[in-house]
Structure 1
Amino acid sequence: MSAPRVYLPEAAVSGEELALPAEAARHLVKALRLAPGDAVTVFNGSGGEFTAELAGSAKNPAVRVGEHHPVERESPLATVLLAGLSKGDKLDWVVQKATELGVSEIQPVHTARSVRRLDPTKAAKNRQRWHKIAAGACEQCGRNRLPVIAEVTDLATALGEPVATGLVLDEAGDPATGRPPATPLHLLLGPEGGLTAEEVAAAEAAGFKRTALGPRTLRTETAAVTALTWAQTKWGDLG
């Protein structure tokens, strides 16, 4: 069994002893029954990982950071997922699964058919939660670099910058073909109800190509996972 992984953004120096966040402490000590001296792996999200061991006491657990290893498990295909804000916790699930599938950046966007609307305060709180979800997914899947979780914005703003390669997921599009794309590959999908014709046209004007993911209508969260899996299989490291 591999050593449990812990995301500690402050980990930087071998030999230092760092207190564990409450949630990580509960998981390691109470759920996994680890004791001082047991091995763990620590990463700070900016690349590589540290060997480490549990330290401190049962009431005040900590980790003693060991040697740094430049281990990377990033996909050679850089991907940016522009996801229309959807209802409930669907985007939470998308963030988790997209991180496991190697996404480089997630850009949540307000679209015309987004039922859920976030004011700046709520958007900031949600962004913090998505960052935490992405960190947990990195702990689970072995990634040592966290994807960027961009600030929530409107679609027009998100389409304001030119893209090297962009695909807008639309049932009326053609299946994607051709050579590996110039990266990063931008994938745009709408919320429940999809994107409006005007939004699709705006995406095309910004350099996106309409692309279908098969003959069936997919839920927004299914489309996100399907698109990333397809792209990573075709051009990334899942082939």
Structure 2
Amino acid sequence: MHRFFLHPEAFGDNETILPDDVVHHLKTVLRLAVGDELLLLDGLGSLYHCRLKTLGKHAATALILKCWSEQETALPVQLIQSLPKGDKMDLVLQKGTELGITSFSPVVSERGIPQPSDDRRSKRHQRWQKIIQEASRQSRRPVLPRLDEVQPLVRVLTDCNANLRLMLWEEECLPLSAALPEAPPSSVAILVGPEGGFSDKEAALARQHNFQPVRIGPRILRSETAGFAVASILQYTYGDLGYREP
């Protein structure tokens, strides 16, 4: 069944109004018609089995047949990602969402790229939200990952309350496996630096906020690759990637 995310306020008691972008996809891509059924999600865990009631050129409504809730099965992982160059953050958001990352916190670091103007920043955030939404739809996640505004590194480190906090740092000798506890942590934060890596000052700041510096192995991964490489390991070790159907 085709799935689409809508804003939670779009859902009424018995029916919902579909936004323009969903209407366009229904008509021009999927070529659905009145009476066809689809699954609508509010991004918070509620799912709505619906039937198309009306389908016009720019507007459509769907009748709600059934509603239920689902919870995430992935290990809660916050990815604190220093802004990479170009559009590499798009890949981080897409693949990170597929791998079960529950929140993305992009940060500005000493060797990272500077922030754009307010207008470009707003458009970029909207594009990032769409990437997360599409990746969540494709990977069949019931809850949309949280996307924070870009913030200074120190602010995100101060606000982090994850149970296990890892900083990926190529100058550290402690392997990732040695930093992983036997008992599953309730939540994990992964801190990833920019292309030029963290400065010594930033590494010391992360340590002050209880982040354990680790290295993944003998190879140096790109900034946009490192986060979801470690997320894969964590989801297999503690989350749902290692789950086997009974």
Out of 197, 201, 206, the residue aligned to residue 200 of structure 2 is 197
CA distance, structure 1, for counterparts of residue 182 and residue 115 of structure 2: 38
1:233 paired with 2:228, answer no
TM-score scaled by length of structure 2: 0.88
Q: Displaced runs of 4+ in structure 1, greater than 4 A?
A: none
* CA positional deviation for 1:196: 1.5
Out of 124, 129, 132, the residue aligned to residue 131 of structure 1 is 129
CA distance, structure 1, for counterparts of residue 154 and residue 117 of structure 2: 17
Which secondary structure state, in structure 1, belongs to the residue aligned with residue 125 of structure 2? Answer: helix
Out of 196, 206, 214, the residue aligned to residue 209 of structure 2 is 206
The answer (yes or no) to whether the contact 2:15–2:61 under 8 Å persists in 1 is no
Which secondary structure state, in structure 2, belongs to the residue aligned with residue 13 of structure 1? Answer: coil
* CA positional deviation for 1:56: 1.4
* CA positional deviation for 1:155: 0.6
User: Which deviations, in whole Å up to 9, do the C-alpha atoms of 1:89-123 show, x marking residues without a partner?
Assistant: 11112111111111111100000111242344433
Partner of 2:68: 69
Q: RMSD value over aligned CA atoms?
A: 1.8
Amino acid corresponding to residue 26 of structure 1 in structure 2? H
Partner of 2:48: 50
User: Which deviations, in whole Å up to 9, do the C-alpha atoms of 1:122-174 show, x marking residues without a partner?
Assistant: 33332222222211112111112111111111111111235332100112242
The answer (yes or no) to whether the contact 1:86–1:116 under 8 Å persists in 2 is no
Q: How does 1:94-133 map to 2 (within 5 A)?
A: 94-133=92-131
Q: How many residues align?
A: 235
User: Which deviations, in whole Å up to 9, do the C-alpha atoms of 1:159-201 show, x marking residues without a partner?
Assistant: 1235332100112242223224533211000121221122112
Which secondary structure state, in structure 1, belongs to the residue aligned with residue 181 of structure 2? Answer: coil
CA distance, structure 2, for counterparts of residue 235 and residue 212 of structure 1: 19
Unpaired stretches in structure 1, ≥5 consecutive residues? none
* CA positional deviation for 1:44: 0.6
* CA positional deviation for 1:63: 2.5
Amino acid corresponding to residue 68 of structure 2 in structure 1? H
Partner of 2:87: 89
Partner of 2:174: 174
Aligned CA distance change for structure 1 residues 206 and 68 (closer, same or farther; 3 Å):
same
1:183 paired with 2:189, answer no
Unpaired stretches in structure 2, ≥5 consecutive residues? none
The answer (yes or no) to whether the contact 2:23–2:55 under 8 Å persists in 1 is no
The answer (yes or no) to whether the contact 2:74–2:100 under 8 Å persists in 1 is no
